[in-house]
């Protein structure tokens, strides 16, 4: 069963994170951070199936800048472009890739999304496709799209772009607000995923909408943080995960109780009478009425009243 998952987050200095370290980890490479002088070395990773940098194609007729094709130079440029101590230095889109697809189909799907993000926001997108970890869920094929928060130009990085663009600038350009833009991106990822599933002749589909919007009346499953899932996989009990599951069970029980209460209080509607039964009862009522006429009393006057009754019986016979 294909699962929709798209998480949009940020790489921020305020949280003690660096774009160079994030890029090195996701791509499984060695990158040196020029601001700190540290070497970020994740070259021993063996779960990186594909990595690639995507750039917007139109630069006023000029080719895409060559400097941005270097992963180390790209993310050091992103770090140098920000001056604030709590600046957002990168934006990440993490997506789930359907396990039902073939390996090349999963990579093609991730590449399509990365190319669209690069063109949509005029930013650089560093794509890394990961295989499931040996100790994790074998269906957990996923991709990380690490995007610059600024537009790519031949000379370097320009103004803030995409989801990191200032709200006033978005209104000035008549662009959707940030909330609507998040929804648009989610919807586009669902469309691309379904197109890939359809092209592979698979019946599975995903939906970016909430359960309520889909008309599905059930409680959403609890989202257990990855750190706590890993604790449980190692045999360590996570109290936080247990609390989340207990709260989920309580919500399910309350929903079942509300449904049972509403069913008990609902007025019972009389069952629809069978047409043959209606005919039988009408015929018996007419015969009973005829039998109540006293002996010796002429029935002629009553015949004038027969046609309506006969007409009623004929109507029932239709």
Regarding whether 110 and 69 lie in a shared domain, the answer is yes
Regarding whether 143 and 15 lie in a shared domain, the answer is yes
Number of Cβ atoms within 10 Å of the Cβ of 213: 9
Predicted TM-score (pTM) above 0.85: no
- Residue 227 structural domain: 218-255
Regarding whether 135 and 17 lie in a shared domain, the answer is yes
- Return d(Cα 113, Cα 101) in angstroms, integer: 16
Regarding whether 50 and 64 lie in a shared domain, the answer is yes
Regarding whether 59 and 118 lie in a shared domain, the answer is yes
Regarding whether 196 and 58 lie in a shared domain, the answer is yes
Domain of 33, CATH number, reads: 3.30.930.30
- The total number of structural domains in the chain stands at 2
DSSP assignment letter at 291? H
Regarding whether 151 and 76 lie in a shared domain, the answer is yes
45 phi/psi in degrees, rounded to 5: -65, 140
| Closest C-alpha among 243, 260, 247, 248 to residue 219 | 248
Regarding whether 247 and 209 lie in a shared domain, the answer is no
**Which pLDDT score is estimated for 305?**
38
Flag whether 244 is in a domain: yes
Regarding whether 162 and 43 lie in a shared domain, the answer is yes
Q: What is the pLDDT of residues 140-162, one digit of tens each?
A: 999 999 999 999 988 889 999 99
Task: Please say which residue of 215, 234, 264 terminates a domain.
Answer: 215
Flag whether 270 is in a domain: no
Widest Cα–Cα separation across the chain: 124
Flag whether 304 is in a domain: no
Identify the weakest region by mean pLDDT among 92-96, 229-233, 286-290.
286-290
Regarding whether 116 and 52 lie in a shared domain, the answer is yes
């Amino acid at each position: 069963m294909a699962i929709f998952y798209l998480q949009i987050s940020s790489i921020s200095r305020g949280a003690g994170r660096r774009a160079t370290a994030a890029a090195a980890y996701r791509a499984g490479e060695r990158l040196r951070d020029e601001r700190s002088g540290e070497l970020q070395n994740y070259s021993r990773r063996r779960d990186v199936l594909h990595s690639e940098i995507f750039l917007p194609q139109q630069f006023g007729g000029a080719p895409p800048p060559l400097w941005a094709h270097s992963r180390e130079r790209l993310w050091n440029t992103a770090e140098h472009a920000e001056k604030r101590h709590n600046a957002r230095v990168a934006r990440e889109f993490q997506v789930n890739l359907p396990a039902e697809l073939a390996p090349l189909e999963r990579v093609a799907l991730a590449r399509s999304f990365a190319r669209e993000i690069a063109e949509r926001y005029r930013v650089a997108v560093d794509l890394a496709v990961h295989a499931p970890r040996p100790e994790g869920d074998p269906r957990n094929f996923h991709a990380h799209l690490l995007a610059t928060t600024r537009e790519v130009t031949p000379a370097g990085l320009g103004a803030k772009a995409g989801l990191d663009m200032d709200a006033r600038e978005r209104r000035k350009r008549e662009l959707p607000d940030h909330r609507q833009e998040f929804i648009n991106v989610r919807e586009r990822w669902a469309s691309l995923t379904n197109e890939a599933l359809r092209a592979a002749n698979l019946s599975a589909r995903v939906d970016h909408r909430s359960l309520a919007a889909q008309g599905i009346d059930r409680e959403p499953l609890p989202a257990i943080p990855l750190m706590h899932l890993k604790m449980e996989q190692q045999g360590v009990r996570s109290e936080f995960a247990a609390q989340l599951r207990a709260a989920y069970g309580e919500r399910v029980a309350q929903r079942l109780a509300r449904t049972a209460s509403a069913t008990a209080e609902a007025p019972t509607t009389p069952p629809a009478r069978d047409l043959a039964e209606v005919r039988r009862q009408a015929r018996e009522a007419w015969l009973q009425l005829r039998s109540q006429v006293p002996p010796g009393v002429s029935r002629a006057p009553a015949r004038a009243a027969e046609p309506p009754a006969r007409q009623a019986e004929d109507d029932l016979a239709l």
